[in-house]
């Protein structure tokens, strides 16, 4: 991992040309660092923990047993 020290107002640039992503340190307060991210629209930017949560949620939802699907089907039908 590349480790860089930056002050408030300073940036790092990842990639180059039209694909470059610029990350700027906006504010440091206690243990909270606010960063601004300037990226092309094709680059999706997400908080890492949200992606992890979503991966977990997807893994939990994936491939329910036939029994679970059947009982869900019944429950929804009975609900009208």
- Residue 29 or 77 with smaller CB distance to another protein: 77
- Contacting residues toward another protein, per CB under 8 A: 41-42, 44, 46, 50-64, 68-69, 71-73, 75-77, 79
Q: Closest distance between another protein and the C-beta of residue 32, in Å?
A: 16
Q: Closest distance between another protein and the C-beta of residue 19, in Å?
A: 14
The per-residue DSSP string of the chain comes to -------TT-EEEES-GGG-EEEEEEEEETTEEEEEEE--TTS----HHHHHHHHHHHHHHSS--HHHHHHHHHHHHHH-
């Amino acid at each position: 991992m590349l480790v860089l020290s930056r002050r408030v107002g300073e940036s790092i640039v990842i990639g180059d040309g039209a694909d470059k992503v610029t990350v700027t340190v906006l504010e440091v307060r206690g243990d909270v660092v606010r960063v601004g991210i300037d990226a092309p629209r094709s680059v999706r930017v997400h908080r890492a923990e949200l992606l992890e949560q979503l991966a977990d949620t997807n893994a939990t939802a994936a491939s329910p047993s036939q029994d679970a699907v059947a009982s869900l089907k019944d429950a929804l039908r009975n609900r009208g």
